[in-house]
């Protein structure tokens, strides 16, 4: 049963009655925005200092406010949290109430509009940094498993069909670069949140002579908004963070999918650690890749919340509108899910056993090498492709690979397929060596890549 809320102590006097209980419950954000208590208190302390410098508060009142805020901050830090009451609408109102009558002095020159924008900037800035660190830890885990793979090989695939031999390390290094780009996007998003909206007031600028630059500096912001209306209604920084997180979540989902797939007995490329797998409640033999499946699945939550926030922001008029309150639920959900996913992946990857494959001599995945050989002998690639295609068909008809073809068949296909040339061309290890362009899978190039990745990570610390 919903209680009727009384008139708001903050804005209720011009109203004849309190909000309808359903409306109050619908608009109440304190269950979410209480997570911003620390940021809110920090911002209020800086505002108290600004009001003191502006001569709006006496040093006595400022000192009382500051000690009240400090006490609340201690409670939050000690894990006790704020003593929220059912009638508290949001975290800003709750803190004002908890300060007691002295709290009434806190809002000169400030509205909840710039206050919530400030809290949210502080939150997004810190979250972006935390996500960058989590991405970095995952990159470290990926690099370590890549360094441990040595010269293990398996089939690189396109269309999920065997394509060409690649080093297992080369395959997983692809994920290193994805998360390296994510890390940089998070750091960029951190910079986008590094702008203070303090001084904006409700929308037109504070009516008391506070100095936004010194308040911003006290809070560790790089800069201050140029325009008060932009300052209270901008949520681009949350979208920047959301985009970075959505891309990382998408990368986690691709990694999750490959672990699910490769650990299936039909692939048999990855041995799943027990600590990241689950059993079945009915089939006693089952061992399921639930950790990797959740990495894949939870990306949906992140992508959905990101799209949801963009949709909320679409078409909003200036300046503050209550729709903006939706920013927090979406962003908390994006940050929580992405952070947990990055951390899970960093813990799970080192525990995976990656099994290389003994690619047989004469395997059909060497077909491109045969065509490249003809090209080196001056044959146009299209014609070379056609000739090797015939060799593939002959091998398949013989029920096997290129080793099924005899010397006469090779010679009939092309005089360049001499036994000496074929001895080299049908060796899968040599096929790897031939992929020696700087971004290729030749073992030497992969060593270079590992060294470059290691240098990047070391420089990131
Ligand atoms: N809970 C609100 C939010 O998160 C705070 C600002 C409310 N301002 C207002 N004018 N109703 O957006």
Boundary residue ending a domain (354, 380, 397): 354
Q: Which residues line ligand 1 (CB under 6 A)?
A: 29, 33, 90, 112-113, 116, 320, 322, 324-325
Q: Residue 279 contacts by C-beta under 8 Å, 6 or more apart in sequence?
A: 286, 287, 288
178 close to 251: Cβ distance less than 8 angstroms: yes
Q: Is residue 184 part of a domain?
A: yes
* Identified catalytic residue from 13, 59, 159, 281: 159
Mean per-residue pLDDT of the chain = 96
Residues 126, 86 within the same domain: no
Residues 281, 425 within the same domain: no
Q: What is the pLDDT of residue 1?
A: 47
Residues 314, 455 within the same domain: no
Boundary residue ending a domain (85, 108, 131): 108
Q: What is the pLDDT of residue 3?
A: 58
Ligand 1 pocket mutation, candidates 29, 43, 112, criterion most atoms within 8 A of CB = 112
Report the alpha-carbon distance of residue 62 to residue 186 in Å, rounded. Answer: 37
Report the alpha-carbon distance of residue 108 to residue 410 in Å, rounded. Answer: 89
Q: Whose CA is nearest to atom 3 of ligand 1?
A: 325
Residues 309, 335 within the same domain: yes
* Identified catalytic residue from 280, 281, 333, 385: 280
Is 280 part of the annotated catalytic residue set?
A: yes
Ligand 1 pocket mutation, candidates 116, 231, 319, criterion most atoms within 8 A of CB = 116
Q: How far is the CA of 54 from the centre of ligand 1 (A)?
A: 26
Is 44 part of the annotated catalytic residue set?
A: no
CATH number at residue 434: 1.10.40.30
Boundary residue ending a domain (321, 354, 387): 354
Residues 264, 383 within the same domain: no
Q: Is residue 359 part of a domain?
A: no
**pLDDT tens-digit series, residues 181-228:** 999 999 999 999 999 999 999 999 999 999 999 999 999 999 999 999
Q: Is the pLDDT confidence value at 278 over 70? A: yes
Q: How far is the CA of 406 from the centre of ligand 1 (A)?
A: 80
Report the alpha-carbon distance of residue 224 to residue 318 in Å, rounded. Answer: 19
Strands 353-354 and 195-196: unpaired
> How many residues comprise the chain?
461
Residues 315, 235 within the same domain: yes
Q: What are the phi and psi torsion angles at 155 (to 5°)? A: -80, 125
Residues 218, 350 within the same domain: yes
Residues 207, 281 within the same domain: yes
Residues 234, 212 within the same domain: yes
Q: Is the pLDDT confidence value at 12 over 90? A: no
Please give the residue range of the domain that contains residue 317. 113-354
**Number of independent structural domains in the chain:** 3
Mean pLDDT of 119-144: 98
**pLDDT tens-digit series, residues 64-122:** 999 999 999 999 999 888 999 999 999 999 999 999 999 999 999 999 999 999 999 99
Residues 204, 312 within the same domain: yes
Report the alpha-carbon distance of residue 194 to residue 183 in Å, rounded. Answer: 17
Q: Whose CA is nearest to atom 10 of ligand 1?
A: 113
Q: What is the pLDDT of residue 344?
A: 98
Q: What is the pLDDT of residue 10?
A: 85
Residues 61, 164 within the same domain: no
What secondary structure, in 3-state letters, does 241-302 show? HHHHHHHHHHHHHHHHHHHHHHHCCCCCCEECCHHHCECCCCCCCCCECHHHHHHHHHHHHH
């Amino acid at each position: 049963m919903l209680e009727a809320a009384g008139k708001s102590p903050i804005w209720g006097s011009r109203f004849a009655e309190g909000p309808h209980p359903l409306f109050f419950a619908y608009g109440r954000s304190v269950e979410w925005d209480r997570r911003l208590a620390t940021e809110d208190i920090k911002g209020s302390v800086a505002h108290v200092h600004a009001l003191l410098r502006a001569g709006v508060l006496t040093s006595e009142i400022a000192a009382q406010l500051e000690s009240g805020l400090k006490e609340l901050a201690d409670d939050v830090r000690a894990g006790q949290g704020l003593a929220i009451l059912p009638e508290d609408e949001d975290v800003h109102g709750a803190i004002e109430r908890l300060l007691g009558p002295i709290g009434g002095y806190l809002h000169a020159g400030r509205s909840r509009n710039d206050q919530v924008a400030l809290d949210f900037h502080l939150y997004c800035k810190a979250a972006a940094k935390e996500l960058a660190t989590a991405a970095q830890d995952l990159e470290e885990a990926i690099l370590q498993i890549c360094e441990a793979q040595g010269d293990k090989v398996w089939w690189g695939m396109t269309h999920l069909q065997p394509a060409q031999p690649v080093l297992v390390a080369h395959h997983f290094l692809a994920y290193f670069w994805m998360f390296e780009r994510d890390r940089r996007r998070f750091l960029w998003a951190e910079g986008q949140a590094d702008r203070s909206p303090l001084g904006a007031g409700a929308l037109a600028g504070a009516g008391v002579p506070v100095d936004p630059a010194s308040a911003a500096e006290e809070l560790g912001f790089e800069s201050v908004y140029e325009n008060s209306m932009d300052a209270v209604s901008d949520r681009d920084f949350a979208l920047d963070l959301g985009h970075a997180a959505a891309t990382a979540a998408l990368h986690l989902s691709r990694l999750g999918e490959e672990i699910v797939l490769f650990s299936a007995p039909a692939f048999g490329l990855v041995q799943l650690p027990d600590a990241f797998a689950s059993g079945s409640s009915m089939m006693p033999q089952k061992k399921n890749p639930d950790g990797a499946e959740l990495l894949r699945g939870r990306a949906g939550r992140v992508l959905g919340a990101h799209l949801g926030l963009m949709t909320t922001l679409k078409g909003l008029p200036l300046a503050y509108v209550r729709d903006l309150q939706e920013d927090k639920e979406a962003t908390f959900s994006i940050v929580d899910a992405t952070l947990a996913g990055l951390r899970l992946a960093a813990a799970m990857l080192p525990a995976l056993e990656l099994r290389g494959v003994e690619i047989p001599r004469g395997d059909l995945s060497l077909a491109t090498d045969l065509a490249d050989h003809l090209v080196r002998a001056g044959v146009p690639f299209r014609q070379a492709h056609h000739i090797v295609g015939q060799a593939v068909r002959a091998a398949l008809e013989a029920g096997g690979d290129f080793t099924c073809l005899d010397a006469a068949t090779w010679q009939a296909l092309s005089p360049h397929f001499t036994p000496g040339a074929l001895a080299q061309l049908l060796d899968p290890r040599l096929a790897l060596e031939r992929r020696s362009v700087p971004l290729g899978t030749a073992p030497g190039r992969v060593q270079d890549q590992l060294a470059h990745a290691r240098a990047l990570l070391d420089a990131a610390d």
